[in-house]
């Protein structure tokens, strides 16, 4: 039984709390949050105790730390929890600053504690099935990957202003997903992006609509498309052309009802947002973390993976600003 301390009891923290508590081989023992009320409420629900973050980390009765606090605290908590010898699952992104993330990686690599970064989409059963079919060679060699990833609506202004920008905050999921699917990092990254939805985003130098094209060592190509707004819900699709066919992971829709009337044939929309769409992925992510620790197997998403995705976001930002293709190795 893995005894878990949870740092951060907001929306994502609560979601993880449920996965931890409902898993047969883990239990939620302690929580911490800068908001006392939120921490107390979650603790009461699952019979955990409330402590300061430092006390959670140093508690000898805690085996693993789940970091779901604000991004600017991730690197510090990773370093502390690693020093304390805990297994760590840290929400994405590792940091908004690539140098800080790299420093963190340097610092903890000696400790050899299990550290996993929370790129939950790798654990979505549909994407995992697509990956498996690819690895089985069911469509031959990989040639052209397209990831479509549109949020239902942009975040409130005060949120995106400290988000680090679309590439570091939103597309970072897709960068990691492309690494997962392609099985390697790209060589060059080109980005175009604009603020089509919210002009204020553009004033701040950020974008809300973007396309990134990446080329790999052997010439294969990946395209990532992001928009902060899809009026019809959370659009999350993968499509990859191979030498012998095409694999697509389609959207998951709200229900299976189809209505045919004089107005046409109407089906349900995609599930609204990540809480609805990726609920199974979050559970599978936690299960994978637990299994890695219990079975002493390699962590499926490493801190190196987290740093790589952040570097890709950095390269995309540079490409957008300069209008040139960026070599990933220049950034890494």
Which CB atom, from 103 or from 269, has the smaller least distance to a copy of itself? 269
User: By CB under 8 A, is residue 251 in contact with a copy of itself?
Assistant: yes
* Residues within window 19-78 making contact with a copy of itself, judged by CB under 8 A: 22
Work out whether 253 is an interface residue with a copy of itself (CB under 8 A): yes
Residue 182, SS3 per DSSP: helix
Helices 36-46, 11-22: axis angle to 10 degrees equals 20
Q: Which of positions 114-133 make contact with a copy of itself (CB under 8 A)?
A: 125-126, 129-130, 133
Give the tokens for residue 112.
């050899």
The only residue of 82, 227, 292, 317 in contact with a copy of itself, by rule CB under 8 A: 227
Please select the residue that binds a copy of itself; options are 46, 83, 229, 287, rule is CB under 8 A. Answer: 229
Q: Which residues pair with 213 in a beta bridge?
A: 190, 223
Question: Under the criterion CB under 8 A, does residue 171 sit at the interface with a copy of itself?
Answer: no
As measured in angstroms, the least distance from the Cβ of 293 to a copy of itself is 22
If the CB atoms of residues 85 and 245 are measured against a copy of itself, the closer one turns out to be: 245
153 lies in the site for a copy of itself, by CB under 8 A: no
- What's the distance, CA 136 to chain centroid? 25
> Rule CB under 8 A: is residue 245 a binding residue for a copy of itself?
yes
Q: Any idea what DSSP says for residue 270? A: B
> Cα(32)–Cα(51) distance, rounded to whole angstroms?
5
Contact yes or no for 225/207 (Cβ under 8 A) = no
242 token code pair = 């191979």
The Cα 326–Cα 309 span in angstroms is 14
Q: Which of 261, 295, 296, 298: binder of a copy of itself (CB under 8 A)?
A: 261
* Total interface residues for a copy of itself by CB under 8 A: 72
């Amino acid at each position: 039984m893995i005894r878990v301390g949870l740092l951060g009891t907001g929306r994502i923290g609560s979601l993880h709390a449920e996965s931890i508590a409902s898993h047969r081989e883990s239990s939620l023992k302690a929580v911490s949050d800068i908001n006392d009320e939120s921490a107390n409420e979650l603790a009461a629900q699952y019979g955990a105790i409330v402590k300061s973050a430092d006390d959670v980390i140093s508690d000898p009765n805690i085996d693993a730390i789940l970091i779901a606090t604000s991004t600017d605290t991730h690197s510090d908590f990773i370093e502390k929890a690693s020093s304390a010898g805990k297994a760590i699952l840290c929400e994405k992104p590792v940091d908004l600053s690539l140098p800080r993330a790299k420093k963190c990686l340097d610092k903890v690599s000696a400790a050899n504690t299990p550290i996993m970064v929370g790129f939950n989409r790798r654990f979505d059963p549909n994407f995992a099935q697509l990956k498996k079919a690819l690895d089985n060679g069911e469509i031959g060699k990989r040639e052209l990957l397209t990831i479509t990833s549109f949020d239902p609506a942009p975040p409130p202004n005060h949120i995106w202003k400290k988000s680090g920008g679309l590439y570091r905050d939103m597309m970072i999921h897709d960068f990691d997903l492309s690494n997962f699917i392609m099985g390697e990092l790209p060589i060059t990254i080109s980005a175009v992006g604009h603020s089509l939805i919210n002009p204020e985003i553009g004033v701040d130098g950020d974008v809300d609509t973007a396309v990134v094209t990446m080329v790999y060592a052997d010439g294969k190509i990946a395209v990532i498309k992001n928009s902060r707004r899809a009026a019809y819900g959370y659009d999350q699709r993968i499509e990859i052309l191979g030498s012998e066919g095409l694999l697509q992971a389609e959207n998951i829709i709200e229900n299976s009802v189809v209505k045919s009337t004089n107005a046409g044939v109407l089906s349900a929309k995609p599930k609204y947002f990540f809480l609805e769409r990726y609920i199974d992925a979050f559970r599978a992510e936690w299960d994978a973390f637990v299994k890695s620790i219990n079975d002493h197997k390699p962590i499926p998403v490493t801190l190196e993976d987290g740093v790589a995705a952040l570097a890709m976001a950095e390269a995309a930002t540079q490409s957008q600003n300069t209008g040139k293709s960026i070599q990933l190795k220049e950034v890494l």
